[in-house]
Amino acid sequence: MCLCTILHGMSSLTSQKRHAYVTAAAIVVAVLLWLILGGIYTLVVGSDQDEEEMSFDDFPKVSVVSSSAQKKVRMLNVYGNAKPKILTRLKSQTSGKIATIVAREGSFLKQGDVILALEKEDKPQQVEEAKALLKQRDLEYKAAKSLFKKGHKSETELAKAFTELQNAQTNLATRQLMLSYTSLRAPFDGWLDKVEVEEGDVVKANETLVGSFIDDTQILILGHVPEKFVTSLTEGELVEVQFLDGRKSTGYINFISRIASDVTRTYEVQVTIDNVKREFASGMTAQLMLPTTEFLAHAIKPSYLALNAQGDIGVKVVIGKDLVKFYAVEVIGHEGDTMWVAGLPEQATIISLGQGFVSSGQRVMVVR
């Protein structure tokens, strides 16, 4: 009986210990789960809290400006040389020896002013003879007409008299014209640029170059543009012109060549500008600002520019609330202390101060 009691007690004790062990193991597992899950929660929540705290306190501070793109025209700057729009090569319309040169090189002449005179030879006498012959033919025609009315002349004889009268008129006009050709006159108001002959020289009609005469109330600026831009130009477009001495004028595209130079592969462009006051002389060098394509651009200060890791020139902007993004830009032109750049979005929040201390993809605190 005692043995049974003892065995029963040991069995009860073993069962109690087993229950205690199970309970302890359950507690340990519960504690471990709490530690693991609690730690993850703490890490996640803590990380979010830290980032939230950094966005207000520890992110780099940058100043920004808001910018809206404007439509601009890309200008192609080329240099060219001025020449008069009208340049006439002077040639005598009759042959003869130069008797006197009346006008000096470089002088301004009114239309019809005499430049030089040829020897008249017998041309004045030929004019007088032609006048006398015309007078005779006129009298003969009048007589024939009177006799025809009275029936003493036939219609054929009257027609012959009329033809001879017309021939006499033509002969006089020709003789007078040849006499007038002995005086070479200014074809229009302008400048006698060159005289290529001397007194005593013999000139041949329409062959000998006597000199050159120019009208510079309008001048042409001749420039050459690369083939990639020639199709962007339009005749009649306004062009800003600046001479090397700083003087400026406005003209228009007068001519665009459709044939490229065999040597330079460029196309000639002519720009006409008014020169009524004769401020600009032939041969002067000028810069042509030719309008090409239209584009959207932002006006920024040069200090806004930055470099990325690859060394590209660009501008850093803030997208969304606080994210930095780098945009490579092209500098299109300058106006005073402002430059125009293309390559940014139409609306941009540009970092104006602190861009050198932040990089693309970084979060920042925006200060306006």
Q: What digits encode the pLDDT tens for the residues 280-333?
A: 988 999 999 999 888 899 999 999 999 998 999 999 999 999 999 999 999 988
Cα–Cα distance, 32 to 214 (Å, whole number): 105
**Which pTM was predicted?**
0.60
Give φ, ψ of 291 to 5 degrees: -75, 130
DSSP states of 322-333 as a string? TEEEEEE-EEEE
* Contact indicator for 96, 198 with CB cutoff of 8 Å: no
Residue 28 DSSP one-character state: H
Cα–Cα distance, 145 to 165 (Å, whole number): 12
pLDDT digits (tens, 9 = 90+) for 169-201: 999 999 999 999 999 999 999 999 999 999 999
SS3 assignment, position 368: coil
Nearest to 254 by CA among 232, 268, 270, 241: 270
pLDDT digits (tens, 9 = 90+) for 101-118: 999 999 999 999 999 999
Quote the tokens at residue 315. 């501008």
CA 243 to chain centre: 15
